[in-house]
Amino acid sequence: MPSGGRSSSVVLVGANGAGKTNMLEALSLLAPGRGLRRAKADLLSRQSAPSNEGGTLKNAEGAIWSIAAELETTDGPLRLGTGTMLQDDGAAGRRIIKINGEFSSQSVLAEHLAVSWLTPDMDGVLAAAASERRRFLDRLVIAFDPAHSGRIQRYEKAYRQRNRLMEEGQQDQSWYEALEQQMAESGMAIIAARQAMVDALDIEAAMPLPSFPSARLRLDGDVETWLATMPAVDAEDRIKSEAKANRLNGNTTMPGPMNTVLTVSHSKTGQNAELSSTGEQKALVISVILAHARLQSKRLKRPQLLLLDDIVSHLDEARRRTLFELTADFAGQVWFSGTDAEAFATMQNDHDIVFIEDGDVVDLPSPTAAVRSSS
């Protein structure tokens, strides 16, 4: 994939169930986390795949799963790969990462490639539960700040430990205070990274676009409110103070990143996404993803992938054309999927159309598949 310049797109075309989303999911696994479907590693492989006695990448049933890619970067070719390693006892092991043939980590992987995506399941994410919106925002942050993933993991681990100690009736105050100190520090870093992302997106997504609504974003929460009137060090002390007070009262809750709420609204009307129609919610989330892609193009010095799974099928012609024009300027590679090649006829930038049938790439769709695709 190119490391800069005008986007060269790939379009996956095939009937529903042909395997287009599986291919995009594989690409999404070149980023930290569980990919666009959030599936566990041992659920990613084909259960009917043949056993590979001499191999290292297969699950407990003997089915292999791995994904590898070669990137063209300003520093030359870069080879990335990930998969599940077989353990000595025959069970599926942890996920492994390789960069240029050497074992590495997910955080290092994110330093080499930025991957973002939009799927039909995300159409209503801006009106979903606060936890879903936080997860959506964190994925956008990780594209710019790979260390964000580690901060969240540390925070959640300490949170679980604190809750377990309280459930067990543990009375060691120094243990609690150490955990709460860690959570306050990690929590402040998480909130700061989220706020920086929201501030940048609020400016970028507010820019007027043809056909799509411009959006405004804000982050709400106790700590966010405190930071408007006090230094971060004082906010951190207040987190610890309230955590201790709640704990002594038998309450496990405490201020921090788990209470953050992302709110997105129309820039013209001020109407929140929660109150918008299903179609407008989809248009808003596309606007936010496009704003994020533009920020990536402007700020990142590593290759980027933008995966748009079955996004164009329910857009009118004006929005479809605008989407193609905007993604053509993305300094990375854009992957689309759809059931009808004609839906992509107005694309102006260089693009390859790849036909998918029964999970495989084919030269041309079979007559049966073509009928299914057009129905």
For residue range 322-340, what is the model confidence (pLDDT) as tens digits? 999 888 878 789 999 999 9
Q: For residues 123-144, give the mean pLDDT.
A: 94
More confident call, 375 vs 11: 11
- Looking at the structure, do residues 244 and 127 belong to the same domain, yes or no? yes
Lowest-confidence range among 34-38, 62-66, 97-101, 324-328? 62-66
Same domain, 154 and 203: yes
* Residue range 239-292, pLDDT digits in tens: 999 999 999 999 999 999 999 999 999 998 999 999 999 999 999 999 999 999
Would you say residue 116 lies in a domain? no
The single residue listed with the structure tokens 């790969």 is: 81
Residue 230 has pLDDT above 70, yes or no: yes
CATH number at residue 209: 1.20.1050.90
Query: Within this chain, do residues 152 and 225 fall inside the same structural domain, yes or no?
Result: yes
Q: Are 158 and 179 in contact (CB under 8 A)?
A: yes
Predicted confidence band of residue 302 (pLDDT cuts 50, 70, 90): confident
DSSP-assigned letters across all residues of 133-195: HHHHHHHHHHHH-THHHHHHHHHHHHHHHHHHHHHHT---HHHHHHHHHHHHHHHHHHHHHHH
Q: Do 312 and 249 lie in a common domain? A: no
Interval 90-96 mean pLDDT = 69
| Domain final residue pick, 87, 111, 135 | 111
Same domain membership, residue 239 and residue 143 = yes
Closest C-alpha to 319, from 332, 305, 308: 308
**Cβ neighbours of residue 333 closer than 8 Å, sequence gap 6 or more:** 1, 2, 7, 8, 9, 10, 303, 304, 305, 306
More confident residue, 332 or 87: 332
Is 127 contained in some domain? yes
* pLDDT of 365: 60
Asked if 147 and 104 sit in the same domain, the reply is no
Based on the domain organization, do 312 and 355 belong to the same domain? yes
This prediction has a pTM of 0.84
pLDDT of residue 360: 87
- Same domain membership, residue 254 and residue 138: yes
Q: Which domain range does residue 229 map to?
A: 123-301
Residues 193 and 247 placed together within one structural domain of the fold: yes
One domain for residues 39 and 5: no
Are 275 and 85 in contact by the 8 Å Cβ rule? The answer is no
Dump pLDDT digits (tens) for 146-170.
889 889 999 999 999 999 999 999 9
pLDDT at 143: 87
94 and 153, same structural domain? no
| Residues 23 and 91 placed together within one structural domain of the fold | no
Which pLDDT score is estimated for 73?
Answer: 81
Predicted local distance difference test score (pLDDT) of residue 204: 96
Q: What is the total count of domains within the chain?
A: 3
